[in-house]
Amino acid sequence: MELYSIPTGFFKLDGGAMFGVVPKTLWSKVHPADENNLCTWALRCLLIEEGDKLILVDNGIGDKQDARFFSHYYLHGDDNLNKSLAAHGFHRDDITDVLLTHLHFDHCGGSIVREGDQLVPAFRNATYWSNTRHWKWATEPNDREKASFLKENILPIRASGQLRFVDEQGGADAILPGLTLRLVYGHTDAMMLPQLVYKGQTVVFMADLLPSIHHIPMPWVMAYDMFPLTTLTEKKTFLEEAAAGGYVVFFEHDPRFECCLLEGTEKGIRSGKTFRLAEL
């Protein structure tokens, strides 16, 4: 098995929204904002190569939205999905499976591309994976979250016939034997966190449970989370398990750090050694 970090660029989000109840006087020391109170975040995906399988976990924002949309999020940087795949010798058409942790636009926007007037799968040879509970949540969204669930990112997946649900296909083994999907419910309903053993270490793709290294302390929870008290419970359970087990946590949104280990301190569990995935 080989794992590859797949950067697809950077975008900006409001710092207060990303750090919730934590005062700006604290979070701005570790993640400074610009003059508009916006902080830069990564759009980092994970590629899993095993045998004849090439599994892409999330795929960034994509590029099909209009200029008005991108004016809110300031997509920038030299990396994009095609370039990062090519750096490892791959093409979009080589992807066999696309595992979507959840259907917020910054995680699944690259799933669909425009071809003329048509919206079609970007990965024409891939099976797209979600779960029935989250799919229902995303396609029948609540008023608070619906701006994150863009129908043009989601509905064409089902229309293509390439959509499958892990809970209807026997679980994560349908994607890759040995893969585990941790379901969490605080950020959004039934978000899936892929977990697998790589080079003797357990690696967990954190999606939006821990979007960055600065979200490890317990109170540092995003205002975007639908159920923040649930997030707190899920973080506590995960952090204790991960610290005890020596898990590698892989960050999707941290602009500086790809991975870290966790360690116990007198202030609770905190980040330990940081490193790039390629250094494992």
CATH code for the structural domain at 2-279 = 3.60.15.10
Instruction: Give the DSSP H or E segment for 230.
Output: helix 228-245
Give the pLDDT score at 89: 98
Burial class (CB in 10 A: 0-12, 13-18, 19+), 276: exposed
Rounded to whole angstroms, how far apart are CA atoms 124 and 132? 22
Give the pLDDT score at 19: 98
Give the pLDDT score at 41: 98
Give the pLDDT score at 47: 98
Q: Where are the domains of the chain?
A: 2-279
**What are the φ/ψ torsions at residue 14 (nearest 5 degrees)?**
-60, 130
Those residues of the chain that have pLDDT short of 50 are: none
| pLDDT tens readout for residues 209-265 | 999 999 999 999 999 999 999 999 999 999 999 999 999 999 999 999 999 999 999
Give the pLDDT score at 164: 98
Please say whether the beta carbons of 208 and 192 come within 8 A. Answer: no
Give the pLDDT score at 227: 98
Q: Which residues pair with 127 in a beta bridge?
A: 97
What separation in angstroms does the CA of 27 have from each of 40, 107, 196, 217, 266?
A: 13, 24, 31, 12, 20
